[in-house]
Amino acid sequence: MPKLYHSPQSRSSRVISQLMLMGKLDAVGVIFVEIVKNDGSGRRDPKNAHPEGKVPFLITDAGEEIRESAAIMMYLDELFGQPLSPRIGTAKRGEYLSWMTYYGGVLEPALVALCAGLDHPAMVGTFRTMVEVAAQLESGLKGKPFLLGTELTVADLIMASAFQWAPQNTPDVPAIKAWVDRVTAAMDNGAMEEFETKAQDVIKRSEPA
């Protein structure tokens, strides 16, 4: 059974949402760990196998280590028969891969720069800004409920997660706001809240005295 290292209310939460949507949460061993938060709270958990103490982190049945959300989400989707992505070699596969890598390569750096108040030519020249991100999303969603068309995919989950995490930074574009709402509505938010509460309780009980 693959092992997923997870901390509640973190970047690994979108992986849990994906597993729930696929009905495969019981097929992965989830290990609850504490992490250091941006505000300095938390700690580096010795149980966490991630070399930098981060989440998510996946160890496959064969013992292969996978990090970075996009890689883990694509791996799990493929492992369980690709219920949330275009089949390899079919139409829209390239578009899907583009959005998956756009998240880590452009959206998240631009969003973090905005939240941190960073405005440097090297950052803007390399990653662009949320203005360009909003334009790409608006164009990509034109005439479609989801990024690839009528079906929800892992690309929607990872891209929308940025604005579920920081709703105040959702571009003020009706099509983007409606898309985030559709992605959120497709998730089992009640089950997710219950799972995250359980995870937090387990971590709290395991904290050193």
pLDDT band at 142 (very low <50, low <70, confident <90, very high): very high
Would you state the structure tokens that stand for residue 166, as one six-digit string?
């920081």
Yes or no: is domain 93-185 CATH 1.20.120.160?
no
Q: In the prediction, which pLDDT does 209 show?
A: 54
| CATH class of the structural domain 3-83+188-206 | alpha beta
Q: Is the pLDDT of residue 205 over 90?
A: no
**Range 138-143 average pLDDT:** 98
How much is the pLDDT for 41? 84
pTM metric for this prediction: 0.94
Give mean pLDDT, residues 15-34.
Answer: 98
pLDDT higher at 38 or 63? 63
What pLDDT, on a 0 to 100 scale, did the predictor assign at position 100? 98
Each residue's pLDDT tens digit, 49-60:
999 999 999 999
User: pLDDT per residue over 67-98, tens digit each?
Assistant: 999 999 999 999 999 999 999 999 999 999 99
The pLDDT value given to residue 37:
87
7 residue type, one letter: S
10 Å Cβ neighbour count for 119? 10
Q: In whole angstroms, give the CA distance from residue 115 to residue 105.
A: 17
pLDDT tier for residue 42 given thresholds of 50, 70 and 90: confident
Gap between the Cα atoms of 145 and 156, Å rounded: 10
3-state secondary structure string, the chain? CCEEEECCCCCCHHHHHHHHHHCCHHHCEEEECCCCCCCCCCCCCCCCCCCCCCCCEEECCCCCEEECHHHHHHHHHHHCCCCCCCCCCCCCHHHHHHHHHHHHHHHHHHHHHHHHCCCCHHHHHHHCCHHHHHHHHHHHCCCCCECCECCCCHHHHHHHHHHHHCHHHCCCCHHHHHHHHHHHHHCCHHHHHHHHHHHHHHHHHHCCC
Q: For the chain, what percent of residues have pLDDT higher than 70? A: 99
What distance in Å separates the CA atoms of residue 82 and residue 21, rounded to the nearest whole number?
Answer: 12
Average pLDDT over residues 178-201: 96
Structural domain boundaries in the chain: 3-83+188-206, 93-185
CA–CA gap between residue 157 and residue 186 (Å, rounded) = 10
Whether residue 206 has pLDDT greater than 90: no
Residues 172/178/183/186 CA torsion (nearest 10 deg): 150
Closest by CA position to 85, among listed 35, 139, 156, 23: 156
